[in-house]
Amino acid sequence: MRVALFIPCFIDQLFPNVGIAMATVLRRLQVDVYYPPDQTCCGQPAFNTGYWDEARALARRYVEIFADADAVVSPSGSCTAMVRNFYPELLGKPTQATTHTYEFSEFLVKHLGVTDVGARFPQRVTYHDSCHALRELRLQDEPRQLLRHVQGLELVEMNQAETCCGFGGTFSVKFPMISYAMDEVKVSSIQNTGARYVVSTDSSCLMQIDGYLRRLNLPIKTISLAEVLAST
């Protein structure tokens, strides 16, 4: 099985370690991965803002680039949701690439049947459900199962784990005051767990949460699920 890596544009540029971590874990599990270098962006920013013609053109590009993959795996619930759930609406029909694109934790648990990747991360950790992963991809258990099998990791649930962090793509800069309030509420939930780390499948959420934590100098860190799973 040839698995293509789909590394969203913002992870490519801002959080490459997340992509590297994912590739590392997949290889540890003997998965044959490759990275099509022509990929750029899934088009979600255009789609979410209403520029559907532009988003459609980028969707067609994606489908071409990943046409030959048996599976496409991405460390982003939101980009995966874009491809699986919204590309069919844009393109008028599903395709091989759109039906076989998976978020990383989803791929591990549901397709490889793996919940223990041999990771070690002895920290108190809380998990934030990204809206796209939770509601578009229906992933709630899978990331938690993976975390529970990480050696030394203490998982504590926050209140309102399912409440949006306030990122929402361009929403975070179009309506920053609302985005910030939602961020503040989320951080408050995190603080109440006493966790040192907050984990998510989505680095966009983590970027939003981290932005608040760092500005206020709070002793909590954000880390992607991929990086936790790559830790040994």
Partner 1 sequence: MTTPTLLQFERDATVKAADLRHRAVIQKNIGTYNIAVANGRTRFADWQNARSHAAAIKWETINHLDRYLEQFEQNVLTNGGHVFWAETAADAREHVLQLARRHGVQKVVKSKSMTTEEIHLNEALEAAGIHSIETDLGEYICQIRGERPYHIVTPVMHLTKADIAQTFQEKLGAPLTDSAEELAMIARAKLRHEFMTADMGITGGNFAIADTGMIALTENEGNARLSFSLPRVHVAIIGIEKLIPRLEDLALLWPLLAASGTGQALTAYNSLIGGPRQEREADGPQEFHVILLDNGRTRLLADGEQRDALHCIRCGACLNACPVYSNIGGHAYGTTYQGPIGSVITPHLPDAQEWSHLPYASSLCGACTEVCPVRIDLHHHLLHNRRNAIQRRFDGPIQRFLFRAWFWAMQSPVRYAVAAKLGNIALRRGLAHLLLKPWTAKREFPTPPKQSFRDYWRQHERRA
* DSSP secondary structure, 99-135, as one string: HTEEEHHHIIIIIS--S----B--SEEEEPPPHIIII
Q: Is 51 in the site for partner 1 (CB under 8 A)?
A: yes
Q: Which of 3, 7, 117, 220 binds partner 1 (CB under 8 A)?
A: 7
Q: Which of 37, 92, 113, 219 binds partner 1 (CB under 8 A)?
A: 37
Strands 32-34 and 221-224: unpaired
CA 179 to chain centre: 19
Q: How far apart are CA 129 and CA 163, in angstroms?
A: 8
Q: Is 107 in the site for partner 1 (CB under 8 A)?
A: no
Q: Is 30 in the site for partner 1 (CB under 8 A)?
A: no
- What does the per-residue mask of binding to partner 1 show for 212-231, with x meaning CB under 8 A? x-xx----------------
217 within 8 A of 204, measured Cβ to Cβ: no
CA 88 to chain centre: 20
Q: Which of 3, 26, 47, 224 binds partner 1 (CB under 8 A)?
A: 47
CA 193 to chain centre: 22
Q: How far apart are CA 36 and CA 30, in angstroms?
A: 19
Q: Which two tokens stand for residue 12?
A: 């490519």
Residues 140-179 that bind partner 1 (CB under 8 A): 162-164, 166-179
Q: Which two tokens stand for residue 188?
A: 């408050």
Q: Is 120 in the site for partner 1 (CB under 8 A)?
A: no
Helices first, then strands: H and E counts in the chain: 14, 8
CB of 128 to partner 1, least distance (A): 12
Q: Is 123 in the site for partner 1 (CB under 8 A)?
A: no
The dihedrals phi and psi of 223, each to the nearest 5 degrees, come to: -150, 140
CB of 151 to partner 1, least distance (A): 27
CB of 5 to partner 1, least distance (A): 8
Which is closer to partner 1, CB of 9 or CB of 91?
9
Residues 8-27 that bind partner 1 (CB under 8 A): 9, 11-17, 19-20, 23
Spatial neighbors of 194 by CB under 8 A, at least 6 apart, are 124, 156
Residue ranges in contact with partner 1 by CB under 8 A: 7, 9, 11-17, 19-20, 23, 35, 37-41, 43, 45-52, 54, 57-58, 61, 131, 135-136, 162-164, 166-183, 185, 207-208, 210-212, 214-215
